[in-house]
Amino acid sequence: MSADENRNEQTDEKLKDEEVVESSADATDEAGAQEPDEASALREQVKEYQEQVLRSQAEMQNVRRRAEIDVEKAHKFALEKFVKELLPVADSLEKAVETTEASQGEDERLASIREGAEMTLNLFMNSLRKFNVAQLNPVGEPFDPQHHEAMSMVPAPDAEPNSVVAVVQKGYTLNDRLVRPAMVVVAKAEGSPKIDEQA
């Protein structure tokens, strides 16, 4: 082999070595460029997953809170239907007491019946109060459509306009929730126009 051929081979080898070094440097640069892209993509994924976890935790807290409120309301108002069924009993006992008071006479039997009805009514009302059932007897109070149902309006010069002058049927609440509105007669202002109640 001649010296020229040796030089050419050495030059070719150097060129090949340089190409290999350059290609490996390019590969390293590409890998280095890909690593930050992958790392930032992974960071973004981690942030998304963290947000999803936080949202899930918040949603679970909201569901738990709603469930607690629903259970509390269920406990608080579970007796509502039962109380509605008992109200006619209270009404009947009140009517019995009113009727026997209206016909006060010398009859001892009637007096003992009235006394028994009063005691039974008091016992019954105390039992209802133990379960937070309150009676609405709004005589003299201003008319409140949230708790009262107006049966009629009558002229009442000695009463304030729009105030309750008589109670037809007492109302009841359970834990401050209306079970039955009080049926009332409302005082009408003297100068108010007449209303056609038959319409």
7 and 49 in one domain? yes
Domain boundary among 76, 98, 120: 76
Contact between 164 and 191 under an 8 Å Cβ cutoff? The reply is no
Look at residue 67 and tell me whether its pLDDT is greater than 50: yes
Within the chain, strands assigned E span: 133-136, 148-155, 164-169, 171-174, 177-180, 182-188
120 and 143 in one domain? no
122 and 86 in one domain? yes
165 and 183 in one domain? yes
Q: Read off the pLDDT band of 20 (50, 70, 90).
A: low
CA distances, 25 to each of 13, 15, 19, 107, 151 (Å): 18, 15, 10, 121, 97
Name the one residue in this structure whose structure tokens are 């590409």. Answer: 30
Q: Which residues contact 176 (CB under 8 A, 6 or more apart)?
A: 134
**In-domain check, residue 83:** yes
55 and 31 in one domain? yes
CA distance 173 to 91: 15
Q: Read off the pLDDT band of 2 (50, 70, 90).
A: low
Distance from the Cα of residue 147 to its chain's centroid: 20
Mean pLDDT of 190-198: 57
Domain boundary among 12, 45, 76: 76
Pick 16 or 89 by higher pLDDT: 89
7 and 19 in one domain? yes
Q: Which of 125-129, 144-148, 150-154, 157-161 has the lowest mean pLDDT?
A: 157-161
CA distance 149 to 169: 10
155 and 117 in one domain? no
User: Which range of residues forms the domain containing residue 2?
Assistant: 1-76
**In-domain check, residue 198:** no
Pick 2 or 187 by higher pLDDT: 187
**In-domain check, residue 139:** yes
Look at residue 50 and tell me whether its pLDDT is greater than 50: yes
Domain boundary among 32, 53, 76: 76
pLDDT digits (tens, 9 = 90+) for 78-117: 888 899 999 999 999 999 888 887 666 667 888 888 889 9
DSSP annotation string for 23-78: HHHHHHHHHHHHHHHHHHHHHHHHHHHHHHHHHHHHHHHHHHHHHHHHHHHHHHTT
The total domain count for the chain is 3
**In-domain check, residue 64:** yes
